[in-house]
Every structure is written in structure tokens, then in C-alpha cells.
Chains A and B, each alone.
Chain A
Amino acid sequence: MNIHFERHLNILDFTLSSLLRRKGKNFSLLTMYLLVIFMLASLVFFVTALKREAAILLRDAPDMVVQRLVAGRQDLVPAQYAESIASIRGVNGVRPRLWGYYYDGLNGANYTIVADDYMASSPESAVIGNGLARSRSMVVGDLLPLISYDKAPLMLQIRSILPGESDLMAADLIVITSEDFRTLFKFPAGLATDLAVDVGNPKELATVASKIAQQFPDSRPILKSEILRTYQAIFDWRGGMVVIILASALLSFIIFAWDKATGLSAEERKEIGILKSIGWSTSDVLLLKFWEGVVISLTAFLLGVVLAYGHVFFLSAPIFAQALKGWSVIYPDFRLSPNVDGYQLAVLFFLTVVPYTAATVIPCWRAATTDPDSAMRS
């Protein structure tokens, strides 16, 4: 046991010094390798974290949302829809919701206005998103003036600012009371933007949705699972776009690495010959090459993953953020909650470290089995 361990240590020692002897070449290889792993790991971390964030937010979403369509466009829902839907068997409750967008000429941004009497408890007060507070440099207690549709200013006192963690979804949000909402948009009484339907048994969702569609042919029920699917598809699609862009970089790396790893230079062949002639066995040479592959690929892998972690979770992935987030109004300054999936890391590991190590060992095995004399002469 001890002897074996020492043998490995000695060979590793030799490997490191032999790698250092060809500093330039190995360092450039390591940098390339590191860059590719960094990009791939960043992408994996980022897309997974975004999906996870979306899933967490959707966990508390209503089971179903019912919209009304007029000529295929979304329209306001009359309140009596809510009553008839609530009487459908299996429906626990129906909540009419009020929400919309407000264009602010001052900074050219669109705000999302949501009416919630529970959060904005008193009239002429508002709870605003972190991104909005940042862009208008507002603090709790300030007044946020909005111009209503009858041109009268609506002065909203900021009661609180939503925490930064919710920024991905709530950066440009303003929560006001439903009364203020109706004043601001001259929103007709007895109508709602849409209906949130809570269904007791998830198995009954499809039945309830089909009953709603039958009863109100102008309605469109949207299930939570459909929303979730849309989200996953959007992030997968965006992730896919970046993968395609990265693919060319990845391919050129593969060609480079393959070329480097498989083709033994005359110098290396000579080195193997010398090692064999001074008494190294074939297995020692293989071990040397194995450690060489492991040192390079494992260093690149670990460093790449650590850098990607910092890039995604501490710096919020500035490299792909524009391509992947795609929010166009007030940019959310969010920080993704760190979460690493062991399975994905393992996939990345087996796609990079293992093939590279194998690719370095196999050609050496061929060289190492040849006669040292002919190896040195060639």
C-alpha cells in the first residue's frame, strides 16, 4: 500500500516537473481548456438557476388563470364570470385580479402595476420593486407621482421596497390598492384583468378547464403546468442558442486537444524511449502520461467550475446575461441563489476530463510498448 502510494507520488512529482519544463505549451493548453469549461459550466449553472428561480416563483401561482379573449386578443373579464366559475364543482375559490403596465416618460421604462389591497394596505401608497427604486433613486417614504388617464397626478407614498431577491420578477413592479388602480387607469367597475382560479384536486384541473371553456367560449383557461412548461421551454431555447454559439469554440478546442493529446511529437517519443531505457516499465510510462492528463484536465475543470460559479452567482453572469435574460425595461439586478446540481457537474466531468485523459494515455501506450532503442532512433 505504502510503496504503491509512494510510486504514485514520485511519478506525479516527475509529471509536474516535466509539465513545467514545457511551460508555454502546457499553459496555453490549460488556458484554452479552462475557458471552454468555464463557458460550459457558466451556461449550465445559469440556465439551471433561472429555471429553478422560475419554478420557485411558480410554486405559489394559482392552479389556473382564466383570461377573456375578444377577437383573439386579451380583454377584461366581467365579474360575473368569477361567480359562475366559482360554482363549478372542484373550484375552491376564484379571485379577480387587476394588473397592467404604465409607461413612465421620465426614464422611458414600463412599470408593471398590480393591485393588491393586502400588500398596499392604505390608499395612495405603494410597494415598489428594487429595480424601480434604484432607477428613480427612491427610498421608503418618498412620493412617486403617476399620471392617471384623466391627467390628474396620483401621488403614491412608498411604504416599502421589495427585497432584491425578488428582482428577477419584481424589478419594475408597483403594487397599489385596487381603488387606486381603478383611478389610475379609469378602469371600469365590475371588470378584472383576469381571474385566478384555485382548484382543490389537481386531477380535476383539466375537467374544470374544459367546463370553463364550454361555459364561456370567449375565455382562455391557462393551467399552471402550461405556464411552467412555457418557462422551461423559453430558458431551454435561450440556453440552446448560446450552446450553438459556443459550439464552434468547443469544436475548435476538441480538434486542438485531440491533436495535442493523440499525436506524440518526436521529442515525446524520444523521452519515452529514454525513460524505458533507464528502467521504467511500460506501466510507469502510462502512469506518467495518465497523471499528465489528469493534472491538466482536472486543474482546468476545477478552476473552470469555480470561476463559472463566481461568474454566475456572484457577478450574475455578465457574459450571457443579455442573451439569456431578455428583459427589456428596467433591468433586474438580481443575484441567483447558488445551487449546483451534482448530476450536471458529473456530466460535464465525464464529457471533458475523462475523454481527455483517455486521449493522452492511448497513444503513449502504443509508443511505450515499442522497443526503446527504435523509439530513441526515430
Chain B
Amino acid sequence: MYRIIIILVLACAMTVTGAHAAGKGGNPVPLNAKCPVCGMFVAKYPDWTATASFKDGTTHYFDGPKDLLTYYLDPTRYARGRRQADIASMTVKEYYSLGMIDPRGAFFVLGSDVYGPMGSELIPFKTQKDAMAFKIDHKGKRIIRFNEITSQLIKTLN
């Protein structure tokens, strides 16, 4: 059996590497970056990284879309002097591709059986089709858009 495995391994080592690097790249998270909402180190959960960049150039990192949204809805509570209007751009990791997308255009699935580092999550998707397929595969409850997310709703996730 392991004889076969060896060959499999070898053959793949040659080509797959390139594809991987391209798909899962993106800007790396600083090792000491902590999520402003929960205080956890973000670099430990690369599949869940979310970011918010401000107009003055600073970037905050979050360990999941839920924490980013919590922050977005009430920035002053987590960082003094920050206002929602100062946020220049945001990113979340799309579930299927792990590529960075803008949460403002994303479709979020609630109540699925996929959990992030902070438990129940809002799982982001680029297209509604992906979100619907995911909702069926992973027993999701609802699909919502960015502007439908309220602090009330996030509280029900926690």
C-alpha cells in the first residue's frame, strides 16, 4: 500500500505546489496581531483572517468575519477614536477558495455546522449560488447580506 502512496506523493509534489501558492496567498498576517474584539492571535487561524484598513493606513486583523462585523458595528467600543466612516476597506476570506473578498458584497450563511475559532460564524461567499450550495451541504439556517447584519443578530450567534 505505502508503495503506491510514495508515488502519489512524488508525482504531486511537482505540480500542485504552484497552484496552491497562488490560491492561498494574500498578505500575511503579522505574528503578533491580535483581534481587537476577542484578543486572540490572528495568525494562528489563517483560514479565517478578516481585516479592516483605515484611511490613515493602519490595518486591524480579526479571527473571523463575526469579529470584524462586531467591530464594524461599534468601532469606538474596541478602539478609541476609531469611527466606522474612517474604514477604507475590509476583507474576509471566502469559504471555498480562501481568497480575500469584500464583505460588503458577500453573502453570509448563518447557523451552519462549520465553526470558526470563535464558535458560530458568518460564513462568507462571493456568489449567492455558492452560499446556497453551502447552506444545503452544511445545514445552514439563513443567507444574509452585509447590511442586514446587526449587533442583535451577532449576539444570537454568540
Residues in A lying within 8 Å of B, measured CB to CB: 57-58, 60-62, 65, 74, 89-90, 92-93, 95, 97, 99, 112, 114, 116, 118-119, 169-170, 173, 194, 196, 198, 200-204, 207, 222, 227, 230-231, 234
Contact = CB atoms under 8 A, between A and B. Distances in A.
Going nearest first, the 9 A-B pairs with the smallest beta carbon separation are: A60-B13, A62-B12, A200-B97, A90-B96, A61-B9, A114-B11, A89-B133, A60-B17, A61-B12
B109 to A, nearest CB: 13
B31 interface: no
B60 to A, nearest CB: 23
Contacts of A222: 8
Nearest to A88: B133
Contacts of B23: 92, 198, 200
A169 B10 contact: yes
Given A61-B16, A200-B23, A203-B47, A230 B137 contact: no
Interface of B: 1-2, 4-17, 19-20, 23-24, 47, 95-98, 114, 130, 133-134, 137-138
B2 A202 contact: no
B96 A60 contact: no
A92 B21 CA distance: 12
B11 A196 contact: yes
Contact of B96 (A65, A170, A200): A200
Contacts of A119: 14
Contacts, number: 93
A196 B12 contact: yes
Contact of B14 (A89, A116, A230): A116
Given A114-B10, A169-B9, A196-B16, 12 more contacts: A57-B9, A60-B20, A61-B9, A89-B134, A89-B137, A97-B11, A112-B7, A169-B10, A196-B12, A203-B47, A222-B8, A227-B8
| Chain A interface, DSSP helix/strand/loop, else mixed | mixed
B63 to A, nearest CB: 15
A96 to B, nearest CB: 11
21 contacts: A60-B16, A60-B20, A61-B9, A61-B12, A61-B16, A74-B4, A89-B96, A89-B133, A112-B6, A116-B14, A169-B9, A194-B8, A196-B16, A198-B19, A201-B97, A202-B47, A203-B95, A203-B114, A227-B5, A230-B1, A230-B2
A183 to B, nearest CB: 19
The winner among B12, B20, B47 for most chain A CB atoms within 10 A is B12
B157 to A, nearest CB: 18
Contacts of B130: 89
Contact of B16 (A114, A198, A202): A198
Given A57-B9, A112-B7, A200-B98, A231 B2 contact: yes
Contacts of A99: 7-8, 11
B136 to A, nearest CB: 10
A125 to B, nearest CB: 16
A201 B98 CA distance: 6
B19 A61 contact: no
A114 B7 contact: yes
A193 B2 CA distance: 16
Contact of A230 (B5, B7, B15, B98): B5
Nearest to B22: A92
B16 A201 contact: no
B96 A201 contact: yes
A207 B140 CA distance: 14
B75 to A, nearest CB: 29
B10 A170 contact: yes
Contact of B15 (A65, A95, A234): A95
A206 to B, nearest CB: 10
Contacts of A231: 2, 5
A169 B6 contact: yes
Contacts of A200: 23-24, 96-98
B66 to A, nearest CB: 16
Contacts of B20: 60, 198
Contacts of B11: 97, 99, 114, 116, 196
Contacts of A90: 96
A173 B47 CA distance: 36
A300 B19 CA distance: 50
Contacts of B13: 57, 60-61
The winner among B15, B47, B130, B138 for most chain A CB atoms within 10 A is B15
